Amino acid sequence: MSANAAAEGAAKPKSNLIKIVLIVVAVLVLVGGAAGGTWFFMKGGSHAKGKDTHAEATTGDEEDDEAPSSAKKPAPIYMALENMVVNLADPGGDRFAQIGVTLELSDEKLGEQIKQRLPAVRSSILMLVSQRTAEELLRRDGKDKLAQDIVMEVSRVAGLRTPRPIRTEGEGDKRPLTQRYTGPIRAVLFASFIVQ
């Protein structure tokens, strides 16, 4: 029995040593996995997406660059009005203009509100154009002034708040490319503009 007891005594320390080594390895694997997972989620998984995480970490920018631009800025809502032909205020009354107006709106509900007042809106635009001369309408600043007056008049007729202009500069000059507004009507775009 003493030989048998000696063999059992030698087997116990080997068995305990194996158990301790396995526990230490398991703990190291778990700690390493937890550290790696934490690092991955703190960086937003950007290595998997192929992004440079160093730049994001230093700038503090947490905005997702891969989000579609429509999520950042809603798509514009356009409302095209039928083309209008109107006599101009030139002496002799033989000059006329044909214009196609498209309104850029802040939302679709506003389009329905304007459609309910469409006859008054069209009449107001026709009155504005009929007060202009061909010379005025052929110049860029004349078209810009007409667009501004249309925004103000349509806002008044539709019972909307008065918009404030936002000046958007063109390259190399001080004239606006398109006059934009902060109100419900964001811009007036001319789809066609013929003066004869």
CB atoms under 10 Å from CB of 183, counted, come to: 17
Whether pLDDT at 69 is above 90: no
Whether the CB-CB separation of 154 and 186 falls below 8 Å is answered with no
- Tell me the CA distances in angstroms from 186 to 12, 51, 77, 124, one per residue in order: 84, 36, 9, 18
Question: Per residue in 15-56, pLDDT tens?
Answer: 788 888 888 888 787 777 777 777 666 665 544 444 444 444
Question: Per residue in 145-161, pLDDT tens?
Answer: 999 899 989 988 888 87
What does residue 101 show for φ and ψ, rounded to 5 degrees? -110, 135
Whether the CB-CB separation of 146 and 129 falls below 8 Å is answered with yes
Give the pTM. Answer: 0.57
pLDDT at 155: 87
**Amino acid making up residue 142:** G
Whether pLDDT at 172 is above 60: no
* Domains within the chain, CATH numbers bracketed: 2-67 (no CATH), 74-195 (3.30.479)
What band does 72 get if pLDDT is binned at 50, 70 and 90? Answer: low
Least confident of 58-62, 135-139, 143-147: 58-62
Question: Within 13 Å and on the Cβ side, how many CA atoms surround 14?
Answer: 5
List the structure tokens of 27. 């703990």
**DSSP track, 58-80:** HH---S-TTS-HHHHSPPPEEEE
Q: Is 159 left (phi over 0), alpha (psi -120 to 50) or beta?
A: left
Whether pLDDT at 135 is above 70: yes
